[in-house]
């Protein structure tokens, strides 16, 4: 995904769509860790005036524009059903996302933060861990659970949810890259307890 030089501990947080990775990120933020959300940055760079907006419209045509902005739902339908389209989109937006991530890491380091959580689904997609990471957290649960969660949270059909889940690298292929694995198969309460336990462990590195 990226490489960078920094004076801050960068802990990656990854997991497939519907795994609960975002819930973990929210809890880490509540517990005082700065969180960089790569997905949110991806949305920003294709907004009106964003660094990747013009290139994405040129690549995918004006029909993806609705009411003056890129319709992310329409764009998502295209790229999740077509691996070549997804590759094309990634080639446009990923360099912009990486630039923003580097900038935010530098800013956080200059503010005196000792640890930052980098929340990004695409960490480890190449089968290797990004050089800039000092640790990696992987959130896991069964594929069927992820599909059900996506259907409920986003109103997707089972087919559309399954398509999005299977467009990503299976999480078990990232197990060897991870320093910590957080299982999210049972209750949200139990999952958050595990997140809080890991947060306490990460805090010990800062003292």
Q: Residue 172: pLDDT above 90?
A: no
pLDDT at 207 over 50: yes
Read off the tokens for 36.
């960089």
Say what the pTM is.
0.89
20 torsion bin: left (phi>0), alpha (psi -120 to 50), beta (else):
left
Where do runs of H (alpha helix) occur along 8-138?
21-30, 38-45, 53-60, 72-81, 83-110
3-class secondary structure, 170: coil
**pLDDT in the model for residue 3:** 46
How many CA atoms does the CB half-sphere of 29 hold within 13 Å? Answer: 12
pLDDT digits (tens, 9 = 90+) for 69-111: 999 989 988 998 898 999 999 999 999 999 999 999 999 999 9
Superfamily of segment(s) 9-204? P-loop containing nucleotide triphosphate hydrolases (3.40.50.300)
The lowest-confidence range among 36-40, 111-115, 178-182, 201-205 is 201-205
* Angle (CA) 49 164 96, round 5°: 30
User: What mean pLDDT is reported for the chain?
Assistant: 91
The burial class, CB within 10 Å (0-12 / 13-18 / 19+), for 1 is: buried
Average pLDDT over residues 49-60: 96
The string of pLDDT tens digits covering residues 115-142 is 999 999 889 888 888 888 999 999 999 9
Beta-carbon count within 10 A of 100 CB: 18
- Paired with 37 in beta bridges are 119
Looking at residue 149, its pLDDT comes to 94
Give percent above pLDDT 90 in the chain.
Answer: 76
Using the CB atoms, write b or e for 39-74: b if 16+ within 10 Å: bebbebbbeeebbbbebbbeebeeebbeeeebeeee
User: Is 70 exceeded by the pLDDT of residue 6?
Assistant: no
- Residue of 164 and 13 predicted with greater confidence: 13
Q: What are the extents of the domains in the chain?
A: 9-204
More confident position, 66 or 125: 66
């Amino acid at each position: 995904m990226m490489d960078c030089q920094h004076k801050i501990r960068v802990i990656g947080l990854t997991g497939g769509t519907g795994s609960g990775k975002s819930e973990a990120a929210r809890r880490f933020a509540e517990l005082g860790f700065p969180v960089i959300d790569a997905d949110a940055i991806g949305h920003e760079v294709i907004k009106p005036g964003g660094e990747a907006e013009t290139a994405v419209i040129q690549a995918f045509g004006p029909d993806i524009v609705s009411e003056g902005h890129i319709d992310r739902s329409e764009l998502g339908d295209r790229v999740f059903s077509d691996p070549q389209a997804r590759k094309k989109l990634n080639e446009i937006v990923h360099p912009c996302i990486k630039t923003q991530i580097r900038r935010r890491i530098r800013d956080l380091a200059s503010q005196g933060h000792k640890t930052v959580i980098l929340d990004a689904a695409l960490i480890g997609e190449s089968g290797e861990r990004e050089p800039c990471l000092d640790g990696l957290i992987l959130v896991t649960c069964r594929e069927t659970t992820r599909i059900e969660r996506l259907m409920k949270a986003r109103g997707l059909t089972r087919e559309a949810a399954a398509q999005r889940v299977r467009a990503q690298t299976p999480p078990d292929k990232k197990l060897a890259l991870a320093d910590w694995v957080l299982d999210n198969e049972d209750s949200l309460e139990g999952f958050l307890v595990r997140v809080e336990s890991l947060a306490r462990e990460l805090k010990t590195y800062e003292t």
